[in-house]
Amino acid sequence: MKLDITLFGALPFRRVSKTAKRQRRTHLKKAAPTVASCPNCGNALAPHRACTKCGYYKGKEVVKVNKEEK
Ligand SMILES: [Zn+2]
């Protein structure tokens, strides 16, 4: 049987060393989540979202929050 080079498709010219691979991946990292704080109660929250503690957004109560649960 004769080996046909077209069966393999595109392959890397040479093996990438552990060091080269690791150096390339130093730029691949997960970004820390963005956290804002509520101007009404100071609770940490996701930006552009109504506050989960007091239900305020842009200085107004937009969501009713159950305040008995703590
Ligand atoms: Zn709040």
Q: For residue range 5-59, what is the model confidence (pLDDT) as tens digits? A: 677 788 899 999 999 999 999 999 999 999 998 888 888 999 998 998 888 898 8
Is 68 within a domain? no
Q: How far apart are the first and last CA of the chain?
A: 74
Q: CA dihedral defined by 11, 17, 20, 24, rounded to 10 degrees?
A: 50
Contact 65, 53 (CB under 8 A): yes
What integer pLDDT is reported at residue 64 of this predicted model? Answer: 83
Ion ligand 1: residues, Cβ under 5 Å: 38, 40-41, 43, 51, 53-54
Is 5 within a domain? no
Q: Is the pLDDT of residue 62 over 90?
A: no
Q: Is the pLDDT of residue 1 over 70?
A: no
Indicate the number of domains in the chain: 1
* Domain containing residue 30: 14-61
Is 27 within a domain? yes
Backbone angles phi, psi at 36, to 5 degrees: -110, 170
Q: Residue 62 corresponds to which tokens in the numbers above? A: 């937009």
Is 9 within a domain? no
- Residue 66: which pLDDT band, with cuts at 50, 70 and 90? confident
What integer pLDDT is reported at residue 3 of this predicted model? Answer: 66
Is 55 within a domain? yes
Report the separation in Å between the CA atom of 26 and the middle of ligand 1, taken as the mean of its atom positions: 38
